[in-house]
Amino acid sequence: MHIVLIDDDSTSIFLMRLLLQREEFAETITAFQSPEEALGFLQTAAPDQIPQVILLDLNMPVMSGWDVLDALKVEGSEQLSHCCIYILTSSLAQADRLRAEENPLVMRLIHKPLDKSELAVIKAEANGQYRN
Q: 124 in a domain, yes or no?
A: yes
Residue 54 in any domain: the answer is: no
Q: What SS3 state is found at 82?
A: coil
Q: What is the pLDDT of residues 26-57, one digit of tens each?
A: 999 999 999 999 999 998 888 888 999 999 99
Say what the pLDDT of residue 78 is.
64
Q: Which CATH number is 115's domain given?
A: 3.40.50.2300
| Nearest one of 74, 80, 62 to 4, comparing CA atoms | 80
* Of residues 4 and 112, more confidently modeled: 4
The pLDDT of 64-89, averaged and rounded, is 84
Does residue 51 belong to any structural domain of this protein?
Answer: no
Instruction: Give the C-alpha separation, 15 to 13, whole Å.
Output: 6
Per-residue pLDDT at 76 exceeds 60 = no
Give domain status of residue 55, yes or no. no
132: CB partners within 8 A, 6+ apart: none
pTM of the model: 0.91
| Rounded distance between C-alpha atoms, residue 92 and residue 71, angstroms | 24
User: Per the domain annotation, does 35 fall within a domain?
Assistant: yes
Residue 117 in domain: yes
pLDDT exceeds cutoff 90 at 12: yes
How do beta strands 28-32 and 2-6 pair?
A: parallel
Separation between Cα atoms, residue 84 and residue 106, nearest integer Å = 7
Confidence of residue 119 (pLDDT cuts 50, 70, 90): very high
State the Cα angle at 42 between 86 and 91, rounded to 5°. 30
| Residue ranges making up the domain that contains 14 | 2-46+68-91+105-130
Q: Give residue 27's identity as a one-letter amino acid code.
A: E
With respect to residue 34, please indicate whether it lies within any of the assigned structural domains: yes
Are 44 and 18 a contacting pair, CB within 8 Å?
Answer: no
Q: For the chain, what is the domain count?
A: 1
Evaluate if residue 21 carries a pLDDT over 70. Answer: yes
Inside any domain, residue 56: no
Q: What is the mean pLDDT of residues 70-92?
A: 81
